[in-house]
C-alpha cells in the first residue's frame, strides 16, 4: 500500500501541474501539500524533520530577497548596461554569452546567484515571450549542469563529495570537475549555441507579458515567501521518497539508475544523491547517476532552484516550462546515455 500511495503522489506531482492550470500557477502551495502527504504516507513525521525543513530554505530565500532588493533599486543601470552590450555584439551573441557564463560561473558564485543574475539580465533584454521562455529554460539547464562542478555550486555536489570523501575515492574539491567536465562543459557550450540560434530566428509578434518595469517591493517579498514554501515542500517530498529510493536503488544497473533519475525533475536532487551515491559504486555508475540527476533537473520547474527562481520572477507556469524543458531534457539525456554506453 505504501508503494501505491507514493506512486500516486509521484504521478500527481509530475502530471497535475501540466494539466491543471490553477495548480501550475500555484505550484509552491501544491508541492508543499504533496510533500506533507508524502511524509504522512511513509510515517516519517518528527520534530527533527520539521526543524530541518523550516531551516533548509533560509539561505536560499535570504539570497533571493537580498538580490530582489538590490535589483529593485539598480534596475535602470543594469538595463543600460545590457542594452549597450546588446548593441555592441548583437542579441544572438549576447544570448549565447549569458547562457554559457551563468552555467560556468554557477560553480563559483552558486546556482542561486547565477539564476538571479540570469533572470534580471534576460528581463532587461526585453525579449518577446517565446524568446524569453526559451532562453530561460536553456540557461537554467546550463546552471543546473555547471553548478555541480564544485561543491560550492549546489547542494548535490556538496553531498556527493561528502559521500565519496573516504576510500576508495577520497574525493576532494575538484573530484566532480575532474570526472564530469567532459560531459558538462560541451553541453553548456551547445546550450549557448542553441540560445544564439533561438535569438537569430525571425521575431514573432508576441510581446512580453505585461509586468512592472521595476518590480514592486511587495512583489519581492511575496516571491521570496513562495520560494521558501517551495523549498520546504521539496524537503518533505525528498524525505517521503527516501525509503522507496533506498529499497530499490541498490539492486539496479547504472543504465536503469540513469533513467530512474528522471525523477530529479520533481524531487530534490541532493536528497536523491544522498540516497543513491555510495563508495561501493564504480566510477562509471557514479558519473551516470549524477548526470541523470543533473540533466533531468532542468525538465520541470521543481527540478532545480534556478528553475524555481526564474519561473517565479518571470511568471512562467509549469506547463509552458515543460513544453520546452521536457523534450530538451530527454534529447540531452538520450545523447549523453549513448556517450556513456561507448565510454563505459
In angstroms, rounded to a whole number, what is the distance separating the alpha carbons of residues 247 and 250? 7
100 close to 142: Cβ distance less than 8 angstroms: yes
Can you give the pLDDT at residue 332? 97
Can you give the pLDDT at residue 13? 83
Can you give the pLDDT at residue 211? 47
Can you give the pLDDT at residue 12? 87
Can you give the pLDDT at residue 210? 46
pLDDT tens-digit profile of 134-153?
999 999 999 999 999 998 88
The set of residues, in sequence order, having a beta carbon less than 8 Å from that of 168 and lying 6+ positions away, is 279
Average pLDDT over residues 309-334: 92
Inside any domain, residue 127? yes
CA distances from 99 to 174, 191, 225 (A): 23, 7, 27
In angstroms, rounded to a whole number, what is the distance separating the alpha carbons of residues 12 and 36? 13
Average pLDDT over residues 313-333: 93
Inside any domain, residue 271? yes
Q: Residue 94: is its pLDDT beyond 50?
A: yes
DSSP track, 146-193: HGGGSTTT-HHHHHHHHHTSSTTT---TTHHHHHHHHHHHHHHHHHHH
Report the candidate in 110, 100, 122 with the shortest Cα–Cα distance to residue 63. 110
pLDDT tens-digit profile of 154-202?
888 888 888 888 889 999 999 999 999 999 999 999 999 999 998 887 7
Range of the domain at 131: 2-201+211-343
Domains contained in the chain, number? 1
Task: Assign 16 a pLDDT band (cuts: 50, 70, 90).
Answer: confident
Q: Which residue has the higher pLDDT, 344 or 21?
A: 21
Inside any domain, residue 78? yes
286 close to 164: Cβ distance less than 8 angstroms: yes
Task: Assign 93 a pLDDT band (cuts: 50, 70, 90).
Answer: very high
Report the candidate in 56, 3, 27, 100 with the shortest Cα–Cα distance to residue 265. 27
Segments of 179-257 assigned E as strands: none
pLDDT tens-digit profile of 42-81?
899 999 989 988 887 787 788 778 877 777 777 778 788 8
Can you give the pLDDT at residue 45? 93
Other beta carbons less than 10 A from residue 319's beta carbon: 16
pLDDT tens-digit profile of 112-136?
889 988 998 998 888 888 999 999 9
Average pLDDT over residues 77-104: 91
In angstroms, rounded to a whole number, what is the distance separating the alpha carbons of residues 328 and 195? 12
C-alpha cell at 289: 547517476
Report the candidate in 284, 303, 56 with the shortest Cα–Cα distance to residue 180. 284
Q: Residue 205: is its pLDDT beyond 80?
A: no
Q: What is the pTM of this model?
A: 0.83
Can you give the pLDDT at residue 204? 57
In angstroms, rounded to a whole number, what is the distance separating the alpha carbons of residues 233 and 219? 21
Average pLDDT value over all residues in the chain: 86
Report the candidate in 24, 305, 46 with the shortest Cα–Cα distance to residue 154. 305
DSSP track, 36-85: HHHHHHTT---HHHHHHHHHTTHHHHHHHHHHHHHHHHSHHHHHHHHHHH
Inside any domain, residue 87? yes
Task: Assign 209 a pLDDT band (cuts: 50, 70, 90).
Answer: very low
Inside any domain, residue 206? no
Question: Which of the 8 DSSP states describes residue 268?
Answer: -
In angstroms, rounded to a whole number, what is the distance separating the alpha carbons of residues 106 and 109? 5
Amino acid at each position: 500500500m505504501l508503494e501505491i500511495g507514493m506512486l500516486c503522489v509521484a504521478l500527481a506531482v509530475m502530471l497535475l501541474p501540466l494539466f491543471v492550470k490553477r495548480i501550475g500557477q500555484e505550484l509552491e502551495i501544491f508541492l508543499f501539500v504533496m510533500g506533507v502527504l508524502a511524509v504522512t504516507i511513509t510515517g516519517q513525521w518528527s520534530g527533527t524533520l520539521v526543524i530541518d525543513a523550516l531551516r533548509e530554505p533560509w539561505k536560499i530565500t535570504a539570497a533571493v530577497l537580498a538580490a530582489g532588493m538590490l535589483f529593485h533599486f539598480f534596475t535602470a543601470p543594469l538595463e543600460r548596461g545590457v542594452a549597450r552590450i546588446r548593441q555592441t555584439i548583437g542579441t544572438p551573441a549576447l544570448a549565447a554569452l549569458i547562457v554559457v557564463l551563468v552555467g560556468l560561473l554557477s560553480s563559483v558564485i552558486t546556482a542561486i546567484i547565477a539564476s538571479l543574475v540570469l533572470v534580471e539580465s534576460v528581463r532587461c533584454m526585453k525579449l518577446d515571450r517565446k524568446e524569453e521562455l526559451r532562453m530561460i529554460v536553456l540557461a537554467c539547464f546550463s546552471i543546473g549542469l555547471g553548478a555541480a562542478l564544485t561543491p560550492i555550486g549546489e547542494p548535490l555536489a556538496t553531498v556527493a563529495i561528502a559521500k565519496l570523501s573516504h576510500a576508495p575515492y577520497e574525493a576532494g574539491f575538484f573530484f566532480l570537475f575532474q570526472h564530469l567536465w567532459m560531459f558538462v562543459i560541451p553541453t553548456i557550450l551547445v546550450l549557448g549555441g542553441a540560445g544564439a540560434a533561438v535569438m537569430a530566428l525571425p521575431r514573432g509578434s508576441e510581446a512580453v507579458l505585461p509586468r512592472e518595469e521595476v518590480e514592486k517591493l511587495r512583489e519581492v517579498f511575496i516571491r521570496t515567501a513562495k520560494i521558501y514554501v517551495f523549498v520546504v515542500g521539496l524537503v518533505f517530498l525528498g524525505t517521503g521518497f527516501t525509503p522507496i529510493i533506498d529499497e530499490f536503488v541498490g539492486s539496479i544497473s547504472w543504465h536503469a539508475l540513469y533513467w530512474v533519475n528522471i525523477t530529479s525533475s520533481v524531487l530534490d536532487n541532493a536528497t536523491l544523491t544522498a540516497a543513491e551515491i555510495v563508495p561501493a559504486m564504480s566510477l562509471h555508475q557514479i558519473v551516470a547517476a549524477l548526470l541523470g540527476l543533473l540533466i533531468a533537473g532542468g525538465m520541470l520547474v521543481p527540478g532545480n532552484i534556478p528553475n524555481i527562481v526564474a519561473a517565479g520572477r518571470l511568471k512562467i507556469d509549469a506547463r509552458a516550462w515543460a513544453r520546452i524543458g521536457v523534450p530538451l531534457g530527454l534529447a540531452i539525456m538520450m545523447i549523453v546515455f549513448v556517450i556513456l554506453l561507448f565510454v563505459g
